[in-house]
Amino acid sequence: MIYSTDDIDFSKISPNEFERLCFELLLKYGYRQIVWRQGGADNGRDIEGYFDFNNPISDQRTKWFFECKHYTSGGVPPNI
C-alpha cells in the first residue's frame, strides 16, 4: 500500500513513537542487528544497524547510524 503525507499526522505522535516508527521502517527495509540506543549526550535516540549488499562479485556488510529528529517547524536547529 502506498501512503501519502496526509496519512500520518506527525503532530499527534510523540518523539518516542516517531523513533519507534523509524526503527520499524529500518527493519522493514532489510536492516539487520538493529540496536535502538536510547539516551546519550543530547538525549537523542540513535539507531544503529547493518545492511548487506549481495552481488555476484562480493558480499558487503555496511554499518549505518541513524538519528531520528521529530521537529514540526523550521527543521532541526543548527546547534543540535
Burial 28-57 (b: 16+ CB within 10 A, else e): eeebeeeebeeeeeeeebbbebeeeeeeee
In a domain, 19, yes or no: yes
In a domain, 74, yes or no: no
What is the model's pLDDT at position 45? 57
In a domain, 55, yes or no: yes
What is the model's pLDDT at position 1? 60
In a domain, 77, yes or no: no
In a domain, 28, yes or no: yes
What is the model's pLDDT at position 11? 82
CA dist., res. 77 & res. 29, Å (int): 28
Number of domains in the chain: 1
Domain membership of residue 46 as a residue range = 12-67
pTM, two decimals, is 0.72
In a domain, 37, yes or no: yes
Strands 59-67 and 45-54: antiparallel
Give pLDDT tens digits along the chain (80 positions): 677 777 778 888 888 888 888 999 999 999 999 998 876 554 455 899 999 988 888 889 999 988 887 776 666 777 75
15 in Cβ contact with 7 (< 8 Å)? no
Instruction: Take residue 56 and report the three cell numbers written for it.
Output: 555476484
In a domain, 26, yes or no: yes
What is the model's pLDDT at position 9? 81
